[in-house]
């Protein structure tokens, strides 16, 4: 599958990216492929974990109800939980605010061998923080300030990549109408009531500002090496399928292999085989 179609392209406006799936794949086909990809991911993760050479950092961003949480649930199920660390970033605590903005996310970076998942990330610091002017003295329009933050993020990710932590950046792209449908479902479906947060309605009023902030963030942090993937997400089955395709490809690119067993270790294995076979 040609995933380059979903990579952020320079100069292309956010509103021109599709939120609906392309034609040519049915829900049934996508779900079957997702199942296959789960097995592939598990096999690749096993090697990643054994090798302990690289880590994968999956960064999930999107408006409220865009499907971040459920993608974690549905796509990553089947991986070895011991090799996965999920961290959700909410509004920072007083203690977190005493630090630089990437402090808390740095503490949560995955060690080599693991898959780290950031459900929201330091990108919030150029999104919600920008939209609501949460840094005193730096309003939404203070281009220089936000451009500098994006540069810091770009440099940070380049540093991570060069040190074996590979960022994979995913944006769940939904339409405003689809968000309304999902929020209504949270009101109408008793099983989803717990998910309803009045704050989501408040944030929805800033939809256009968020789209602008996302656009700016993508423009300056999507690179050839560490691109943003913009997933058409009005259909959850499609976004999940696509996420699984991206993860398989990104894991393959790391070429994880089981560690090579040294001659010395082989001799040791033979020694213990003999002992065990003698019934000890
Ligand atoms: P949820 O992902 O629905 O649990 O909501 C988490 C909320 O925390 C979202 O509204 C985010 O925008 C907000 N949030 C995350 N990071 C920050 C941040 N650095 N500053 C302010 N709000 C944040
Ligand atoms: Mg929310």
For residue range 60-110, list pLDDT tens digits in order: 999 999 999 999 999 999 999 999 999 999 999 999 999 999 999 999 999
Residue of 101, 96, 210, 218 lying closest to 150 (CA atoms): 218
**pLDDT for position 72:** 98
- In the chain, the DSSP E strands lie at 55-62, 84-88, 115-119, 165-173, 228-232
**264 phi and psi angles, rounded to 5 deg:** -60, -40
Residue of 160, 198, 212, 201 lying closest to 179 (CA atoms): 201
pLDDT in tens, 199-211: 999 999 999 999 9
Residue of 42, 23, 24, 45 lying closest to 34 (CA atoms): 42
Q: Structure tokens of 224?
A: 């050839």
Q: Structure tokens of 35?
A: 């199942």
**pLDDT for position 82:** 97
pLDDT band of 161, cuts 50, 70, 90? very high
Mean pLDDT score, 151-162? 98
Q: Among the atoms of ligand 1, which is closest to the Cα of residue 125?
A: 19
Q: How far is CA 130 from the centre of its chain?
A: 21
pLDDT band of 280, cuts 50, 70, 90? confident
Using a cut of 0.75, tell me whether the model's pTM lies above it. yes
Q: Among the atoms of ligand 1, which is closest to the Cα of residue 119?
A: 2
Q: Is the CB of 90 under 6 A from ligand 1?
A: yes
Nearest CA to ligand 1 atom 8: 90
The CA distance from 29 to 150, in Å, is: 38
Whole-number Å distance, alpha carbon 90 to ligand 1 midpoint, is: 4
DSSP bridge pairs for 167: 57
């Amino acid at each position: 599958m040609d995933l380059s179609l979903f990579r952020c392209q320079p100069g292309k406006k956010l509103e021109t990216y599709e939120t609906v799936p392309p034609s040519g794949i049915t829900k049934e086909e996508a779900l079957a492929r997702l199942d296959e990809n789960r097995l592939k991911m598990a096999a690749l993760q096993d090697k990643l974990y054994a090798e302990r050479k690289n880590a994968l950092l999956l960064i999930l961003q999107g408006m409220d109800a865009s499907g971040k949480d459920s993608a974690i649930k549905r796509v990553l199920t089947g991986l070895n939980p011991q090799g996965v660390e999920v961290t959700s970033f909410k509004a920072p605590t007083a203690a977190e605010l005493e630090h630089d903005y990437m402090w808390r996310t740095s503490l949560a970076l995955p060690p080599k061998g693991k898959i780290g998942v950031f459900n929201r990330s330091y990108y919030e610091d150029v999104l919600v923080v920008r939209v609501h002017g949460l840094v005193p003295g730096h309003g939404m329009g203070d281009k220089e300030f936000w451009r500098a933050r994006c540069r810091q993020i770009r440099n940070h990710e380049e540093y991570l990549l060069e040190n074996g932590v590979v960022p994979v950046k995913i944006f769940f792209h939904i339409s405003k109408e689809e968000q309304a449908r999902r929020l209504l479902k949270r009101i109408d479906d008793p099983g989803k009531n717990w998910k309803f947060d009045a704050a989501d309605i408040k944030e929805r009023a800033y939809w256009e500002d968020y789209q602008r902030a996302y656009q700016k963030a993508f423009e300056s942090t999507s690179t050839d090496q560490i691109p943003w993937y913009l997933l058409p997400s009005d259909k959850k089955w499609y976004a999940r399928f696509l996420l699984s395709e991206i993860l398989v490809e990104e894991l393959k690119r790391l070429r994880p292999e089981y560690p090579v067993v040294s001659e010395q270790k082989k001799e040791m294995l033979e020694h213990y085989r003999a002992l065990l076979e003698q019934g000890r």
